Amino acid sequence: MTESVQLATAEPTSALIPRATPATWLGVMGGGQLGRMFVHAAQAMGYKVAVLEPVADSPAAHAADHHLVARYDDAAALQELAAQCVAVTTEFENVPAASLALLAQRATVAPSAANVSVAQDRMVEKKFFIDCAERSGVLPAPHLLIAADQDIAINADLIAATLLPGIVKTVRLGYDGKGQVRVRTLEDVSSAFAGMQGVPCVLEKMLPLAYEVSVLAARGADGTSVVYPIAENVHRDGILFTTTVPGPHVSPECALRAHDAALAIIEQLGYVGVLCIEFFILDDGSLVVNEMAPRPHNSGHYTIDACMTSQFAQQVRAMAGLALGDVRQHSPAVMLNLLGDLWFDTASGACTEPAWDRVLALPGATLHLYGKDDPRPSRKMGHVTFVASTLAEAQDSLHAACAILRIAL
């Protein structure tokens, strides 16, 4: 039986940690596609990478120089990772904060356990956004914690008057539309909460959404911060479908407000690394902060092909104590997520490889597959980015690819 860790009370400051240099080791917690792309970026800069991931056959483990097959809270494996690596990061926010705190006793950890723990709990995250509102100028949607059935009964009038229609979300562990139910009545709220098996939830009011943007920011240990161009996102069934940069609906004034809000948030966190913050733009043009991801993000994949410094190279720079990279976008871009559904013929149900040769024949197309052997509906298998001299040309290639892949627009 493995030994589990307890949350440490303090972490060393970055000033006490030596800067990582090429040929030294960096570590990543998690074996998914974000970890895989981080590994590729780090190796391109001369680093070796160790991955801690319990699944032996995982995308990041395929690419890593060393793979520790262990649970995220395995104390012995964490000690080994910290001893081997100058700095460690995480590729998803549900790695136990206690594990990151233990790593921080011997290595630089970016982002910190404290920062990750904020994003792991929707109520803690919303409280942080509210506390930060004076600096950021943005607030989250109206919401209410539902930890027990009586919370619905006690607040029935408030819910009916101010929070419906809404969305019930689990406070922890929800992602890609999982752990979320739309509700229109008090009965719906009760049913949705019961369906979540009684775990704490938050009820958020649904707002008149015009579109959604995500802001990718990065901050170094020296306090220097940068913000990438504002990305406009389209979701389907709670999963990111496309990201377009520059966003066709994003006005200069809206982009500036989102940029400034992201800077305020990342600075108030005292964050080190890449942080993605999602905002809702309402019909009246106002900005509402939705959530944040303490890591590189699906909506930032376009940076690999369209920016001077990819979000993954930026994460390497931040955690290694290097100067942050240039975030300029050199080409308009559209990123299309590739889900496992594409491998299945809708009529016969047969599993066949999509026509990547035809997609790659399109102007400006770059294909990124994540090394997953088991396509399943809604599973992220890869993405394709289209870059061009104009946004219209990139969108034309997107439309052509969707026709080839039989994706409805």
pLDDT in tens, the chain (409 residues): 344 444 433 343 343 344 677 779 999 999 999 999 999 999 999 999 999 999 999 999 999 999 999 999 999 999 999 999 999 999 998 899 999 999 999 999 999 999 999 999 999 999 999 999 999 999 999 999 999 999 999 999 999 999 999 999 999 976 655 779 999 999 999 999 999 988 999 999 999 999 999 999 999 999 999 999 999 999 999 899 999 999 999 999 999 999 999 999 999 999 999 999 999 999 999 999 999 999 999 999 999 999 999 999 999 999 999 999 999 999 999 999 999 999 998 777 789 999 999 999 999 999 999 999 899 999 999 999 999 999 999 999 999 999 999 999 8
One domain, residues 322 and 183 = no
409 belongs to a structural domain: no
- Do residues 130 and 69 lie in contact, with contact meaning Cβ atoms separated by under 8 Å? no
- In the prediction, which pLDDT does 21 show? 73
3-state class (DSSP) for residue 408: coil
Indicate whether 391 and 249 sit together in one domain: yes
pTM: 0.92
Q: Is the domain of 156 the same as that of 65?
A: no
CATH code of residue 146: 3.30.1490.20
pLDDT of residue 176: 58
Angle of helix 122-131 versus helix 113-120 axis, rounded to 10: 110
The predicted pLDDT at position 136 comes to 97
Give the pair of three-digit tokens for residue 105: 């006793």
Q: How far apart are CA 90 and CA 52, in angstroms?
A: 10
**Binding site: what residues are annotated?**
122, 169, 174-180, 204-207, 212, 235, 290-291
Give the E-state strand segments of 140-294 in sequence order: 143-146, 166-170, 180-183, 201-205, 209-219, 225-227, 231-236, 239-245, 273-282, 287-293
Confidence at residue 348, expressed as pLDDT on a 0 to 100 scale: 78
Between CA 382 and CA 397 the distance in angstroms is: 17
Q: Are residues 191 and 277 in the same domain?
A: no
Tell me: do 237 and 269 sit in the same domain.
yes
| 3-state class (DSSP) for residue 404 | helix
Residue 177 is predicted with a pLDDT of: 59
Q: Do 241 and 190 share a domain, yes or no?
A: no
Report yes or no on 119 lying in a domain: no
* φ/ψ (deg, to 5) at 97: -60, -30
Give the helix/strand (H/E) hosting 44.
helix 33-44
The whole-number pLDDT of residue 346 equals 77
- Cis omega (within 30 of 0) for bond into 200: no
| 104 & 251 share domain | no
Last residue of a domain, one of 109, 134, 150: 109
Which CATH number characterizes residue 355's domain? 3.30.470.20
Task: Tell me whether residue 1 is in a domain.
Answer: no
Rounded Cα gap, residues 154 and 164, in angstroms:
16
Q: Which residue range forms the structural domain that includes residue 164?
A: 142-205
Look up residue 103 and give its two tokens. 């790593």
Specify if 131 maps to a domain.
no
For the chain, how many structural domains are there in total?
3
DSSP string, 52-70: E-S-SS-HHHHH-SEEE-S
pLDDT for the residue 220: 97
Longest dimension (CA), the chain: 61
Q: What is the reported pLDDT for 179? A: 79
Tell me: do 187 and 216 sit in the same domain. Answer: no
In sequence order, the β-bridge partners of residue 329 are 307
Asked whether residue 370 falls in the same domain as residue 239, the answer is yes
Are residues 332 and 197 part of one domain? no
375 touches 327 (CB < 8 A): no
The backbone torsions φ and ψ at residue 341, rounded to the nearest 5 degrees and listed phi first, read -55, -30
Last residue of a domain, which of 205, 236, 253?
Answer: 205
CATH of the domain at 75: 3.40.50.20
User: If you ran DSSP here, which 8-state letter would residue 95 be given?
Assistant: S
205, 224, 247: which is the final residue of a domain? 205
| Whether the Cβ atoms of residue 154 and residue 168 lie closer than 8 Å to each other | no
Query: Both 269 and 355 in a single domain?
Result: yes
How far is 74 from 62, CA to CA, in rounded Å?
21
Same domain, 190 and 242: no
**Is 67 part of any domain?**
yes
Q: Are strands 239-245 and 143-146 parallel, antiparallel or unpaired?
A: unpaired
Is residue 335 one of the residues assigned to a domain?
yes
Q: What pLDDT is attached to residue 14?
A: 40
Per-residue pLDDT at 174: 66
Which residues does the annotation place in the binding site for ATP? 122, 169, 174-180, 204-207, 212, 235, 290-291
- CA atoms lying within 13 Å on the CB side of residue 193: 23
